[in-house]
Amino acid sequence: MGVSIHGGHRAPSAGSDPHHLSPRCDSPTHHPLPAPSPPCSPASPLLLPPSSSASKIDSLRSKVDLLKLPLALSTKSISERKIQLGGAGERRSAGGGGGACTARSPPTRDMDNESQYSGYSYKSSHSRSSRKHRDRRERHRSKSRDSSSRGDKSVTIQTPGEPLLDAESTRGDDRDDNWGETTTVVTGTSEHSISNEDLTRVTKDLEESTPLECKRFIGPALGGCLSFFALITPLAFLILPQVLWRDALKPCGTPCEGLYVSLAFKLLVLLISSWALFLRPPRATLPRFFVFRCLLMVLVFLFVASYWLFYGVRVLEPKEEDYQGIVEYAASLVDALLFIQYLALVLLEVRHLQPAFCLKVVRSTDGASKFYNVGHLSIQRAAVWVLDRYYNDFSVYNPAVVNLPKSILSKKMTGFKVYSLDENTTNNSTGQSRAMIAAAARRRDNSHNEYYYEEAEMERRIRKRKARLVVAVEEAFTHIKRLHEDEAGASPKHPREVMDPREAAQAIFAPMARAMQKYLRTTRQQAFHSMESILTHLQFCITHNMTPKAFLERYLTPGPTMQYQQQSGRGRQWTLVSEEPVTSGLRQGLVFSLRRLDFSLVVTVTPLPFLRLGEEFIDPKSHKFVMRLQSETSV
Amino acid sequence: MSFVPGQPVTAVVQRIEIQKLCQGENLILGFSIGGGIDQDPGQNPFSEDKSDKGIYVTRITPGGPAEVAGLRIGDKIMQVNGWDMTMVTHDQARKKLTKKREDVVRLLITRKSLEEAVKHSKGSHPRQ
């Protein structure tokens, strides 16, 4: 954006001067704007025309304001800051709205600013006429952008795939309510937090979109080759003599045919069970070798290799003529393969079914914990097992939910600052920190009080918004009725517009959108639900005749992480952190953790208690009762 | 009035002699008893220790021989004519009291106020 010090011809200029408004709105006649800004309403020419003296002051003021802006634009923070600046020193409130008008570079964050304005308009003490102007301008802007979810104002929905509110608006709730507090905050802090969140989001996106690793398929491919080789071997044993020295073979009649049949069926069983048990796409790549699987593959390889060796030495070389013996040999190989498959079944599938250990899984960020019973597994297999359950049982990790609200945390941070004037501070550091902690402990603080009231207030707010949401959704659902086939041609005189589920969803989304947005923002779930996803879910619910309550269950409680997964084949990256080698088995007192970018799951292993079950036989006839007596006899 | 199992029971008792009254065919004493080792001691309103399974006087006919003799409601009967009443069943107690051949029953009864009177007197006359 060009920083030219002209009066009012810069897009992100100060919001505090109304004089900028009209020249910007008559943009075709003035310099072209560096940033895209929507055409402003025709109501704006009601304001003052630009005057040169005021423009000079304004230019200076706008220069100052520009320096205060961070270069990383986020519409919310900029526009919010605009409002603060506007609120600080403005004479006419129209400027505030006008300033924010130009600072909205991405057009999709409408609902964001809209609710912000609502907060602002109730808090500011401006004249009714100016508020009217602002409202009218907002309305025109909304119409011009053709955006949705302005309450009951418009219906068409335009923006696909955007989060309902961007991630920075997690702070917006604090700002909305304590905006006076943050008026003088230096923009530096907010800028850093923006970039941090963006960074984590970007890295997460990057890692989700890593290309398909070929490493994932090496193991199964190897196993597949080996099993194919093993299956072909008996057939090769049978066919090779026929092909090579057919004439010299002793003919064998019925016994051979019987053996052929049994061989065929055993091979068929081997094939089917291999397909059923082993031909599955792998669900996880383990950091080290999967010991049992490797063992089995080595075993199969050894078996087949030794059989081939024996075959080569004893049959192929001397050109053995006893064909029946060869067939029996092939049959014995198939038997051995069946037994190896049995072994594989037991080792890979059955052994770990009997529960032996209890795993406690705790999430490091918010302490959500669960207990699971597992059998004898290696650490890496147990980790995969736990992660399978994690995606279903644990509610989704919401980084926006912190334990202590910021207002209390910040108070805790501002404690005593200890400055050391010496140069060598190494020996004093622990002493200083201890002094600080002791001082902080002695200082009487009421943050627990604030925490309690903050919690209660938050609870109340959530409940209020939830009530509004439920009512809005219930009402919205009453607008739609399913059309049965026999009704279609029944009433020609009342032609009703027939809609498919998508259109029906869009039609009823508008009245509930605002309540939904506010509720999601209060419970800090707005990052998980984009408008598109809400619409899709609404369409789904309408199609399946769900009640409003069923539609809302997805939003009222944070569901398991599985609910929010995008179906990408890339997989999730987890790091197994363990002090023991990960192929060792589980045992008592083992602790390992599964780490992800921003949180980790800590798993503790305890063995299940040994149960000593005793027996007590009760004869059914032994159930006898007497009344409790308190008789009184007169003598 | 609670006892320690295995230790002799000590109590301050009062001797009461009741003459049986002849009412038609029966000889009545004019009171009712409750308790016994086969009864539920928890429902005894007169006992201090609710595990006490002794025989207690639960009702006294006004003007009857028992009242005349000085028996009061809530008294625990320790002996009847020499027979022990602290470890008997309800029916045994009744039998001991209603022997047709005897027309006098000599009871040893104990009550809380007796102990207090003794303590009081001991306290006022420490020599005795």
Coil, strand or helix at B111: coil
Q: What is the pLDDT of residue A179?
A: 52
Q: Which residues pair with A362 in a beta bridge?
A: A369, A602
Average model confidence (pLDDT) across chain A:
72
Segment of A44-48, A281-285, A455-459, A566-570 carrying the highest mean pLDDT: A455-459
B59 belongs to a structural domain? yes
Comparison of pLDDT for A567 and A437, the residue scoring more: A437
Can you tell me the distance from the alpha carbon of A580 to that of A360, in angstroms, rounded to the nearest whole number?
18
How far is it, in rounded angstroms, from Cα A374 to Cα A605? 10
Partner residues linked to A600 by β-bridges = A595
Nearest-Cα distance to chain A for B23, in Å, is 12
Q: Is A625 on the interface with B (CB under 8 A)?
A: no
**Closest listed residue to residue A578, CA positions, set A564, A590, A563:** A590
Answer yes or no: do A635 and B33 touch at CB < 8 A: yes
Question: b/e map of B77-109 (b: 16 or more CB within 10 Å)?
Answer: bbbbeeeebbebebebbbebbbeeeeeebebbb
Of the pLDDT bands very low, low, confident and very high (cuts 50, 70, 90), residue A426 is low
Q: What is the dihedral of CA A405, A409, A410, A414, to 10 degrees?
A: 170
Of residues A213 and A89, the one with the higher pLDDT is A213
Is A622 an 8 Å CB contact of chain B? no
Whether residue A17 contacts residue A47, with contact meaning beta carbons closer than 8 Å, is answered with no
Q: What is the pLDDT of residues A222-261, one digit of tens each?
A: 888 888 898 899 989 888 888 888 777 787 888 888 999 9
Report whether A572 contacts A566 (CB < 8 A): no
> Which chain A residue has its CA at the smallest distance from B20's CA?
A635
Q: Is residue B53 part of a domain?
A: yes
Tell me the shortest Cα–Cα distance from B118 to chain A, in angstroms.
30
Domain that holds residue B47: 11-112
Chain A interface includes B38 (CB < 8 A):
yes
Q: Is B50 on the interface with A (CB under 8 A)?
A: no
Min Cα distance A616 → chain B (Å) is 29
Name which of A71-80, A96-105, A192-201, B52-61 the model is least confident about. Answer: A96-105
pLDDT score at A446: 72
In this structure, is residue B104 part of a structural domain?
Answer: yes
Q: Which residue has 């059923």 as its token pair?
A: A276
Burial zone of A619 (CB within 10 Å; 0-12 exposed, 13-18 middle, 19+ buried):
exposed
For residue B61, list chain A residues with Cβ-Cβ distance below 8 A.
634
pLDDT band for position B126 (cuts 50, 70, 90)? low
Q: Which residues of B fall within a CB distance of 8 Å from A635?
A: 28-29, 31-33, 94, 97-98
Beta carbons of A628 and B43 less than 8 Å apart: yes
User: Are the C-beta atoms of residues A336 and A301 closer than 8 Å to each other?
Assistant: no
A633–B contact, CB cutoff 8 A: yes
Q: The domain spanning residue B21 has which CATH number?
A: 2.30.42.10
Q: Which residues of B touch A630 (CB under 8 A)?
A: 34, 39-40, 43-44
Nearest to B39 among A630, A634, A635 (CB): A630
* Beta-carbon separation of A634 and B32 below 8 A: yes
Complex ipTM, two decimals?
0.81
Closest CA to A58 of A8, A3, A4: A8
**pLDDT of A108 higher than 50:** no
pLDDT tens by residue, B33-43 = 999 998 888 88
CA distances from A543 to A236, A275, A500 (A): 57, 38, 9
Positive or negative torsion for Cα A449, A451, A454, A455: negative
Angle at B100 between CA B98 and CA B101, to 5 degrees: 125
Work out the minimum CA distance from B48 to partner chain A, whole angstroms.
16
Asked if A630 lies within 8 A of B34 by C-beta distance, the reply is yes
Q: Does B89 fall in a domain?
A: yes
Which of A453, A473, A339, A469 has the alpha carbon at shortest distance from A405?
A453
Do the Cβ atoms of B31 and A633 come within 8 Å?
no
Least Cα separation, residue B69 to chain A (angstroms): 15
- First-last CA distance in chain A: 115
In chain A, residues with a C-beta closer than 8 Å to the C-beta of B31 are 634-635
Give the pLDDT band (50/70/90) at residue A369.
very high
Whether A630 sits inside 8 A of B32 (CB atoms) is no
Residues in B touching A634 (Cβ below 8 Å): 28, 31-33, 59, 61
Query: Which residue is associated with the tokens 């009601």?
Result: A46
Instruction: Check residue A266 and give its pLDDT.
Output: 93
Query: Given CB atoms, is A627 within the 8 Å cutoff of chain B?
Result: no
CA distance B49 to chain A (A): 16
Nearest to B38 among A629, A633, A634 (CB): A629
Specify if B36 maps to a domain.
yes
What 3-state DSSP class applies to A580? Answer: coil
Q: Residue by residue, what is the 3-state secondary structure of A169-203? A: HHCHHHHHHCCCCCCCCCHHHHHHHHHHHHHHHHH
The winner for highest mean pLDDT among A114-128, A158-172, A621-635, B108-122 is: B108-122
Q: How far is CA A253 from CA A256, A258, A398, A553, in A?
A: 6, 9, 73, 71
| Residue bearing the bigger pLDDT, A87 or B63 | B63
CB < 8 Å & 24+ apart, contacts of A217-226: A217/A282, A219/A282, A219/A290, A219/A293, A220/A281, A220/A282, A222/A297, A223/A278, A223/A293, A223/A297, A224/A279, A226/A297, A226/A300, A226/A301, A226/A304
Given this model, what pLDDT does residue A444 score?
65
pLDDT score at A626: 79
pLDDT at A483 over 90: no
Euclidean distance between CA atoms A350 and A341, whole angstroms: 12
Partners of A627 on chain B (C-beta within 8 Å) are none
Q: Does A635 touch chain B (CB under 8 A)?
A: yes
Specify burial of residue A249 (Cβ count, 10 A radius: 0-12, 13-18, 19+).
middle
Beta-carbon separation of B32 and A629 below 8 A: no
- How many domains does chain B contain in total? 1
Q: Is A417 on the interface with B (CB under 8 A)?
A: no
| pLDDT class of A148 with cuts at 50, 70, 90 | very low
> A141-155, A182-196, A498-512: lowest mean pLDDT where?
A141-155
* pLDDT, tens digit, 9 for 90 and up, residues A294-315: 888 899 999 999 999 998 898 8
Residue B95 lies in a domain: yes
Separation CA B110–CA A321 (nearest Å)? 115
Nearest 5°: phi and psi at A344? -65, -40
Structure tokens that stand for A419 in this block = 């400055």
The count of CB pairs under 8 A between chains A and B is 38
pLDDT of residue A288: 83
pLDDT value for A145 = 44
- Minimal Cα–Cα distance from B9 to chain A, Å? 24
Mark yes or no for CB contact A634/B59 under 8 Å: yes
Is 60 exceeded by the pLDDT of residue A5? no
Q: What is the mean pLDDT of residues A598-618?
A: 93
For residues A45-82, b (16+ Cβ closer than 10 Å) or e, as one string?
eebeebeeeebeebbebbeebeeebbeebbbbbbbbbb
Summarised one tens digit per residue, pLDDT across range A391-409 is 889 888 888 876 666 666 6
Nearest to B57 by CA among B82, B93, B21: B93
Measured in degrees and rounded to the nearest 5, phi and psi for residue A601 equal -110, 125
> Mean of the pLDDT values across residues B25-54?
89
**CA A478 distance to own-chain centroid:** 32
Which of B18, B37, B40, B51 should one mutate to test binding to chain A, selecting the residue with the greatest count of A CBs within 10 A? B40
Check: CB of residue A635 under 8 Å from CB of residue B32: yes
Residue A603: what residue type? V
- The DSSP annotation for A34-102 comes to SS--PPPPTTGGGSPPP-HHHHHHHHHHHHHHHHHS-SS--HHHHHHHHHHHHHHH-S-THHHHHHHHH
- Determine whether the interchain pair B94/A635 forms a contact, defined as Cβ–Cβ distance below 8 Å: yes
- How remote is the C-alpha of A95 from its chain's centroid? 40
Mean pLDDT across A197-210? 55
The reply to whether A632 touches chain B by the CB within 8 Å rule is yes
Query: Which of B32, B38, B61 lies closest to A633 in CB terms?
Result: B32
Average pLDDT (A135-142) is: 48
Instruction: Give the end-to-end CA distance of chain B in Å, rounded to a whole number.
Output: 23
A635/B29 Cβ within 8 A: yes
- Residue A202 has a pLDDT of 58
Reading the block at residue A174, the tokens are 């604090």
| Matching residue, tokens 């107690």 | B93
Cβ contacts of A632 on chain B, cutoff 8 Å: 32-34, 58-59
Phi-psi region of B99 (alpha: psi -120 to 50; beta: other; left: phi over 0): beta
pLDDT at A375 over 70: yes
Identify which of A173, A141, A110 has the alpha carbon closest to the alpha carbon of residue A42. Answer: A141
Instruction: Give the amino acid at A298.
Output: V
**Could you give the CA distance from residue A416 to residue A423 in angstroms, rounded to a whole number?**
20
Choice between A249 and B122, residue whose per-residue pLDDT is larger: B122
Distance from CA of A627 to the nearest CA of B (A): 9
Q: Is the pLDDT of residue A372 over 90?
A: yes
Closest Cα to residue A383, out of A370, A394, A374?
A374
Which phi and psi angles does A517 have, rounded to 5°?
A: -65, -45
Q: Tell me whether A184 touches chain B (CB under 8 Å).
A: no
Query: Who contacts B123 (Cβ-Cβ below 8 Å, separation ≥6)?
Result: none
Contact state of B43 with A635 under an 8 Å Cβ cutoff:
no
Q: What is the dihedral of CA A58, A59, A60, A63, to 10 degrees?
A: 120
Stretch among A340-349, A417-426, A440-449, A454-463 having the lowest mean pLDDT: A417-426
C-alpha A168/C-alpha A70 separation (Å) is 14
Residue B43 contacts A, CB cutoff 8 Å: yes
